[in-house]
Amino acid sequence: MTRRESWEEARRLVVQEKLSYAAAAEATGLSVSTLQKRAAAEAWQAQRETASTYGDQVRRLKVEALRAALADAGDPQKLYAWQQLEKAWPEHRYSTAKDDPKVRLEVLLGVIEGLVAYLGEHDRNALTALQPHIRAYAAWQEATWASA
């Protein structure tokens, strides 16, 4: 990572991901005191308070819907609304942590489920041939991502 990329990443971590200066410094290899000075000069704290990414907005919306559903457990429409938000905006679509093994595994499982459903309808022989390998493949991917 170049010095410029380190600074861009540090700014992103502090402003958008809301990490501490120490955590951002550790992640980018920059010194904490230098990072703090630059952050003060460029007003990262003010930017942090006003920064709202798409993912932040979706998370807030989902949290509000879940709180409403929990507050009024007798209203099935509120629970349904929260469930629909979860379906419409699954974590992997707006996550900034695309390399997070948990997110990647969720995406992989979605792809595998779709493939199995498709083969179940269109090519049962292919599904029969693929079936013994699905779990081993998922475990192999999970181990690969965990070690990365």
Model pLDDT for residues 60-80, shown as the tens digit of each residue: 788 888 888 888 877 889 888
Report, as ranges of residue numbers, the positions in the chain whose pLDDT lies below 50.
none
The set of residues, in sequence order, having a beta carbon less than 8 Å from that of 108 and lying 6+ positions away, is 138, 141
Reported pTM? 0.38
Q: What is the pLDDT of residue 145?
A: 66
Q: What is the pLDDT of residue 39?
A: 92
Helix (H, G, I), strand (E, B) or coil at 17: coil
Q: What is the pLDDT of residue 137?
A: 81
Q: What is the pLDDT of residue 146?
A: 61
The set of residues, in sequence order, having a beta carbon less than 8 Å from that of 36 and lying 6+ positions away, is 21
DSSP classification of residue 59? H
CA distances from 42 to 11, 34, 39, 45, 80 (A): 10, 12, 5, 9, 44
Q: What is the pLDDT of residue 99?
A: 55
Cα of 120 vs its chain's centroid, Å? 30
CB-count exposure of residue 44 (10 Å: 0-12, 13-18, 19+): buried
Q: What is the pLDDT of residue 114?
A: 81
